[in-house]
Amino acid sequence: MGSWKGLYLLVLDYLRNRPSAAFSELCRVIGMTKGACGNYLKYLIEKGWIEKIDVGVYSITEEGLRILENERAKLHLIKEALRQCSLIMPEDAGTIDAFIVELEAKPRIDANTLINHLGWLSQDAGFIELGSVDGFEDRFREAAVKGFNRLHYVINGNHFFNIFDPPGYNIIIRLDGDGSGIGVWTGVLGPHEFFNAYKPLEGDFMVRLAIAYSVYYLHLLDSMIRVRLDSRLFVKYIVILKAVSGGSEVRDARYVAARSDYDVEDLINDLINVPKGEGLLNKLQGNVDEDEAGP
């Protein structure tokens, strides 16, 4: 196996409140074919996290429960990412490849001051104002369906800027109301005619498109915060997701936490300058040994 990371959390969480689960159930949970699922469950048995208690029947072990409790925060992140994926996937989109970066501002910033410097709420910026919403309401979907490609809304005091531009891409930028953090969630939707000419579309190609698109916004936010607000953005963690069926079925979920001094400048250098086989992104590409990288 590579270093990933993500799917095992779905398996362990599914088994946590059940005495056992059938092979077919677990295949459905992780969205794998029977052959791939069988190999993956064998891998989890070798790790000591699950056990086979009968023909085609599995249960979680004490070690699996321990691992799960230690990784609950990561599981929450993956589920939240899937929720966001379902939000940014139009009904006619079959797949999404998402690159998600969570950032911490040190020292904290004033979110409204940053928005003013960015000019995103000016008339020329073209954002449709939805105001405060309780969750993702019908009016959000209605605005998206009408073809508005730039939306601003507020949830629990946090600002969300949702940009459906260019076609086939979607990015959500969350600015925490208390100025402590920023989320940059970039998705590439498929199948889409804008990508038909580019081969291969399998593997990490679509994720790389999402990464390339996110670099502009990462640089914009980081440079504005450095220059105008005298603060810095540090990377907390990165998630890569591949999902289908409106974001309801995950095909790949990868997570990596950054060291405490890893800032956006380091991230951008890793994304665009570092040769293959080096840097943080390499961990997300499954090239780090599992035991070395951690579960």
Looking at the fold, whether 45 and 163 belong to one and the same domain comes out as: no
195 and 271 both lie in a single domain:
yes
Q: Which of 285, 282, 205 is nearest to 4 (CA)?
A: 285
pLDDT tier at 5, thresholds 50, 70, 90: very low
Which residue segment(s) compose the domain that 31 sits in? 7-70
Distance CA 214, CA 194 (A): 18
Instruction: Give me the CATH number covering residue 49.
Output: 1.10.10.10
The reply to whether the predicted model has a pTM over 0.75 is: no
Instruction: Report the residue count for the chain.
Output: 295
Residue with structure tokens 């990596």? 256
pLDDT tens figures, 172-206: 899 999 999 999 989 888 766 777 777 655 567 78
Which DSSP helix (H) or strand (E) runs through 68? helix 62-70
In a domain, 98, yes or no: yes
Do 193 and 254 lie in one domain? The reply is yes
Tell me, yes or no, whether 176 and 255 share the same domain: yes
Look at residue 85 and tell me if it is in a domain: no
Q: Among positive and negative, which fits the CA dihedral 262, 267, 268, 270?
A: positive
Residues 121 and 254 in one domain: yes
Three-state SS at 38: helix
Residue 292: pLDDT band with limits 50, 70, 90: very low
Whether the pLDDT of residue 14 is over 70: the answer is: yes
pLDDT of residue 7: 73
Q: How far is CA 223 from CA 27, 76, 158, in A?
A: 44, 30, 21
Does residue 244 fall inside a structural domain?
Answer: yes
pLDDT of residue 205: 78
The answer to the question of residue 30 being in a domain is yes
Percent of the chain with pLDDT over 70: 71
The verdict on 163 and 249 lying in the same domain is yes
Residue 74 CB contacts under 8 Å (≥ 6 apart), including other chains? 6, 9, 255
Vertex 90: Cα angle to 31 and 101 (nearest 5) = 70
Buried b (16+ CB within 10 A) or exposed e, 253-262: bbbbbbeeee
pLDDT given for residue 291 in this prediction: 33
User: Does one domain contain both 225 and 159?
Assistant: yes
Does residue 134 lie within any of the structural domains?
yes
Alpha carbon distance, N-terminus to C-terminus of the chain = 12
Please tell me the total count of domains within the chain. Answer: 2
Is 269 a member of any domain? yes
- Residue 179 resides in a domain: yes
